[in-house]
Amino acid sequence: MHKFNGKYYFSYSTGTTHYLCYAEGTSPEGPFTYKGRIMEPVIGWTTHHSIVQIDGEWYLFYHDAKRSGGCSHKRSVKFTKLNIAEDGTIEKIYPYDHE
pLDDT digits (tens, 9 = 90+) for 68-81: 655 666 667 788 99
Q: φ, ψ for residue 76 (rounded to 5)?
A: -115, 140
pLDDT of residue 58: 96
Between 13 and 42, name the one with better pLDDT. Answer: 13
The residue ranges of every structural domain in the chain are 2-82
Q: Which residues of 9-35 are buried (b: 16+ CB within 10 A; e: fewer)?
A: bbbebeeeebbbbbbbeeeeeeebeeb
Confidence band for 21, pLDDT divided at 50, 70 and 90: very high
pLDDT of residue 37: 95
